[in-house]
Amino acid sequence: MDIGDALPLLLLLALALMTLALLSRQVSQRVQRVAYYTTRSERLTTFFLFLLLLPGIFVHECAHWLTARALGLRTGNFRVWPKIQGKTIGLGSVNVQRGALWQDSLVGMAPLLAGTALIALIGYQVFAANRLSAIVAQGRWGDGLVGFWEALSTADGALWAYLLFAIANAMMPSPSDREPIKPLLVYIAVVSVAYILLGLPLNPFAEGLVWLTPTLELVTSALLFTIVLDGLVVVGLWIIETLIRPRELVVVRSRSRR
């Protein structure tokens, strides 16, 4: 196996993460709309979103805190509670001492890495997501769908599905988390291009990919399982939103299209 053989798996993993990020935004927006149409209260809407994602928020902030402490950075206030900040909603925060670029990047990426690891663990141990992905890869879509529902229908399937949902939709890095990552990615890209142009050996990377392939397949399968789960939630929220949307909003929108 060489790097070329591993590219499809790496691309699928990257695509799965991007898709999950888009779905996570849709979930947040539609949950807020449904809650607001129901309660007509911004505070209650914020609190409902907070309660819905509470396990994932706790994992997110704990990942920041534990990573910072492991890297020798001082930590301050640890908050897991909703707070409206202008046009955005803060569901939690941890004050962390600034460090070197690589330290700040690891702290910023910690929720995504920890969340992905937990998703992979739940997907493998509880829902056998790797087996379902193998079935779908064989073109047996019907069997895959049946297996998906059977996994959710187990005694504690709903509880694990909720934990998977909460973690997945709270693990994405916030704008402040992504801030130190951008220059690090530019640095890595420049070093990688220079490495290739200099004709340095790629065998170590190929061997590393061979070693990581089973793990990458497991993670990708769990992410795909979560994407299906999130997609179903988004569809359900869209139906509820359509049914309870205030009539005056429908009239205004229909007029604006003329």
Q: Report the chain's C-alpha Rg in angstroms.
A: 21
79 CB contacts (<8 Å, ≥6 apart)? 61, 92, 93, 94
Q: What mean pLDDT do residues 133-156 have?
A: 86
CB atoms within 10 A of CB 52: 19
137 CB contacts (<8 Å, ≥6 apart)? none
42 CB contacts (<8 Å, ≥6 apart)? 36, 84
Calculate what percentage of the chain has a pLDDT beyond 90: 53
* 112 vs 122: CA distance, rounded Å: 15
185 CB contacts (<8 Å, ≥6 apart)? none
Higher pLDDT: 24 or 137? It is 24
Q: Give the model confidence (pLDDT) of 171-187 as tens digits.
A: 998 888 888 887 777 77
pLDDT band with cut points at 50, 70 and 90 for residue 258: very low
pLDDT band with cut points at 50, 70 and 90 for residue 201: low
234 CB contacts (<8 Å, ≥6 apart)? 23, 26, 27, 30
What is the pLDDT at residue 6?
A: 65
pLDDT band with cut points at 50, 70 and 90 for residue 161: very high
Mean pLDDT of the chain: 86
What is the pLDDT at residue 195?
A: 67
Structure tokens at 1: 């196996």
Higher pLDDT: 2 or 204? It is 204
- Answer whether 166's CB lies under 8 Å from 56's CB: yes
Global pTM value: 0.87
Calculate what percentage of the chain has a pLDDT beyond 70: 90
pLDDT band with cut points at 50, 70 and 90 for residue 254: very low
Q: Give the model confidence (pLDDT) of 218-229 as tens digits.
A: 999 999 999 999
Q: What mean pLDDT do residues 26-37 have?
A: 94
**H runs (alpha helix) in the chain:** 3-39, 42-52, 54-70, 101-125, 129-137, 141-152, 157-168, 175-178, 181-197, 203-244, 247-256
Is the confidence at residue 167, as pLDDT, over 60? yes
Q: Is 189 helix (H, G, I), strand (E, B) or coil?
A: helix
